[in-house]
Amino acid sequence: MIDKSMPGSTLTFIGDATVRSLVLASTKLILEQQTPGGAYPASPSFSAYAGYCWFRDGSFIADAMSAAGHVESAELFFDWCSNVLSSRSGKIRYIVAESLAGRPPADGQMLPARFTLEGDDGNDEWWDFQLDGYGTWLWALAEHSTRYGRSLERWDEAVALTVDYLVCSWDRPCYDWWEEAAHQVHVSTLGCISSGLASIVAAGHLDEERALRATETVELIRRRVQNDGVRNRHLTKWLGTEALDGSLLALIAPMNFLEPVSPVGKGTISAVEEQLTVRNGVHRYLADSYYGGGQWPLLSCFLGLAQEAAGNRSRARELLLWVASVARDNTELPEQVEGNLLDAEQLQPWIDRWGPSASPLLWSHAMFIRLAIALDTIHPMDRSESGPQTNEKGL
Ligand code: BGC
């Protein structure tokens, strides 16, 4: 699907100054929107998302803020996650006990994908049973702790609850990143769980028995993905299909589940470039019809991160500049852009249902920050007028 007629040079009018100013606007937006309790609203003004914080979006946002030097913001989010989990410790222990006894609770009794900004369960119907976000929060927390040498003690209970929850439920079918296809086991979900468990083990903080169970699970997931989640030399959307999904890119970078230069790593990047990418804009998957199935800037950033990890920095830069080019007023990144719709007839029905698609989307801003940092276009310390953020350790 690569459109060779679009030379990278059409993006040359966008330079580092534009990128830097969008990074600053992005961090400002995220800091302004974060609640005192630590929640990052997914999209403050979009009808269907307003008032909610997702573990998935929030964890990637916290990772970007951490990489950008905003230690306190990232840790406040981890506190929010920790409160959500610890306040449900009874429920989680029940799920774990029942699952271990061979009586796994129904999907509706599992943890939801999103919570209100105050950390309560939502009142609206949602496609709630999703496991990936719980792996992603463990991964983001471990990355943060390694990046700054921070102790994980403060999040102890929540980490243990999450590990136990994932170890007993990782192989259950659930909704994917896009909150669809509940009857499948999704490869990106498995990768997020595996990366979360592996990184929290590597952070050296779990007790021996828990670390052992987490490591066994990581190994089981690897084998399952190798056997049923790879076709035609690329990772697949779910186990047993040949289809592809843009979310798989995250498993290459930043989540490090798959080596970028391994045959499957390279194959996955090429397949996404060829099948899902049109003029630098990446689709979620070929059958997407949500708001007509547009291109997602956050996925172009994930593609950029994967390309950068594979050593293709010029391609990664092209993707970064494309994302900057779709920002509204050079300050606002949407969830998706409508330049190249896969199913144009489905755009209006969604607008009729929920209004225009989400913008700004904080996760899009976060991925832009993350890619700009990976490409050294911006450094953690030159990111705001107010100068570097410090904490008690002088970080
Ligand atoms: C996306 C999810 C995302 C949510 C909030 C949904 O449309 O499919 O991946 O977590 O929006 O941004």
pLDDT at residue 393, rounded to an integer: 25
Whether the ω angle into residue 254 lies within 30 degrees of 0, i.e. cis, is: yes
Using CA atoms, how far residue 320 sits from 60, 120, 138, 236, in Å, is 17, 36, 27, 25
Q: Is 242 tagged catalytic?
A: no
Closest CA to 342 of 259, 270, 283: 283
Q: How confident is the model at residue 63 (pLDDT cuts 50, 70, 90)?
A: very high
pLDDT tens string 129-170: 999 999 999 999 999 999 999 999 999 999 999 999 999 999
Q: Is 118 tagged catalytic?
A: no
Q: What is the mean pLDDT of residues 288-315?
A: 98
pLDDT at residue 381, rounded to an integer: 58
Q: Residue 104 above 60 pLDDT?
A: yes
Strands 230-231 and 234-235: antiparallel
Atom of ligand 1 nearest to the CA of 284: 8
Greatest Cα pair distance, the chain, in angstroms, is 61
What domains does the chain contain, in order, with CATH numbers? Answer: 16-374 (1.50.10.10)
Choose between 383 and 261: higher pLDDT: 261
Contacts of 260 (CB under 8 A, 6+ apart): 252, 253, 266, 269, 306, 309, 310, 311
The rounded Å distance from CA 168 to ligand 1 centre is: 25
Q: Residue 388 above 60 pLDDT?
A: no
Q: What is the mean pLDDT of residues 384-391?
A: 39
Could you tell me what percent of the chain has a pLDDT over 90?
A: 90
How many Cβ atoms from other residues are within 10 Å of residue 311's Cβ?
Answer: 10
Q: What is the mean pLDDT of residues 237-253?
A: 98
The rounded Å distance from CA 114 to ligand 1 centre is: 10
Could you tell me what percent of the chain has a pLDDT over 70?
A: 93
Q: What is the mean pLDDT of residues 73-77?
A: 98
Which of 2-6, 34-38, 133-137, 218-222 is predicted least confidently? Answer: 2-6
Do the beta carbons of residue 185 and residue 173 sit within 8 Å?
A: yes
Cα distance between the two ends of the chain: 44
Q: Residue 14 above 50 pLDDT?
A: yes
Do the beta carbons of residue 272 and residue 243 sit within 8 Å?
A: no
Q: Residue 391 above 70 pLDDT?
A: no
Place of tokens 């979620």: 284
pLDDT tens string 114-137: 999 999 999 999 999 999 999 999
The segment with the largest mean pLDDT, out of 284-288, 382-386, 389-393, is 284-288
pLDDT at residue 389, rounded to an integer: 44
pLDDT tens string 167-202: 999 999 999 999 999 999 999 999 999 999 999 999
Lookup: tokens for 318: 């092209």
pLDDT at residue 357, rounded to an integer: 97
One DSSP character per residue, 269-327 reads HHHIIIIIEETTEE-S-TT--GGGT-B-HHHHHHHHHHHHHTT-HHHHHHHHHHHHHTS
Q: Is 32 tagged catalytic?
A: no
Q: Which residues line ligand 1 (CB under 6 A)?
A: 42, 49, 54, 56-57, 177-179, 361, 363
Lookup: tokens for 368: 């832009």
Q: Residue 3 above 60 pLDDT?
A: no
Using CA atoms, how far residue 48 sits from 53, 181, 359, in Å, is 12, 19, 12
One DSSP character per residue, 123-184 reads SS-------HHHHHHHHHHHHHHHHHT---GGGHHHHHHHHHHHHHHTTS----TTS--TTS
Q: What is the mean pLDDT of residues 16-21?
A: 93
Predicted structure pTM score = 0.94
Q: What is the mean pLDDT of residues 17-36?
A: 97
Task: For ligand 1, atom 1, name the residue with the nearest CA.
Answer: 178
pLDDT at residue 11, rounded to an integer: 53
Please, what's the b/e burial string for 168-186 (b: 16 or more CB within 10 A of its CB; e: otherwise)? bbbeebbbbbbbebeebbb
Three-state SS at 337: strand
pLDDT tens string 45-60: 999 999 999 999 999 9
pLDDT at residue 169, rounded to an integer: 98
pLDDT at residue 380, rounded to an integer: 75
The rounded Å distance from CA 178 to ligand 1 centre is: 6
Do the beta carbons of residue 124 and residue 51 sit within 8 Å?
A: no
